Amino acid sequence: MESPHPNGRVAVVTGAGSGIGREVARQMLAAGYRVALAGRRREPLDDAAGGHPAALVVPCDVTRPDAVERLFADVLGTWGRVDVLFNNAGVFGPAAGVDEISMADWDATVAVNLTGSMLCAAAAVRAMKGQEPQGGRIINNGSISAHVPRPRTVAYTVTKHAMTGLTKSIELDGRGFGITCGQIDIGNTSTGIMDTIGVGSGALQADGSRRVEPMFPVADAARAVLMMADMPASASVGSVVVTAAGMPFVGRG
């Protein structure tokens, strides 16, 4: 009987209950990875896992250090190693300018998008340093907002710019341990929370107008993440930008 995880590699996917994380987890399972699906709520994680024999569902709030430690302890206890972390959990935060955002909204956005990503990366690096063979790959989900902001997205944009610094720091600090880190910046992929950009009045533009923008399937975004994960240990993929063809990114604003 064929093994349910023939490539033997172990991946952790945060924010796996919906959107990009869900599709990445499902494609990784189909490709033969053993996948730990992490997110706040068990029900959507169970649905994403679909009863797959190589799936491990671990409810986890990435803003809590103790919860992140339990997540990676569960993975190591089940499979003994971590080969890939897709650091995907994130929120858009409020629609607000720098002079409007409340401290509570700012702190909540930073806690998930930046601190949560740092906590998961730290736990993954500790696991990757301590395992045999040593090493692994971290893929951070940035955004095209790591390059160019949309109007009234100060908290989201700042965290995504900071994600780029986190990615580069992990890549540098992991170099001596066989750990690589890259960032994928995705623009206008079709997920429930993004679909309003491609219909109705569309997305707010820099000149104050609204425009319906092109979208592309989330399955194709996930394929790009899987490509990064599948690269051999001898290669480091530092940065990938994938957008809907024709979206206002180059020359945005």
Catalytic residues: 156
Please answer whether residues 101 and 155 qualify as being in contact, where contact means their C-beta atoms are separated by less than 8 angstroms: yes
Number of neighbours of residue 47 by Cβ within 10 angstroms = 14
Please answer whether residues 14 and 89 qualify as being in contact, where contact means their C-beta atoms are separated by less than 8 angstroms: yes
Question: Counting beta carbons within 10 angstroms of the beta carbon of residue 228, is it exposed (0 to 12), middle (13 to 18) or buried (19 or more)?
Answer: buried
Distance CA 160, CA 18 (A): 19
Distances (CA, A) of 133 to 136, 143, 177: 9, 32, 10
3-state secondary structure of 219: helix
| Number of alpha helices (DSSP H) and beta strands (DSSP E) in the chain | 7, 11
Distance CA 101, CA 94 (A): 7
Which has the closest alpha carbon to 92: 192, 214, 166?
192
Amino acid at 206: A
Question: Counting beta carbons within 10 angstroms of the beta carbon of residue 59, is it exposed (0 to 12), middle (13 to 18) or buried (19 or more)?
Answer: middle
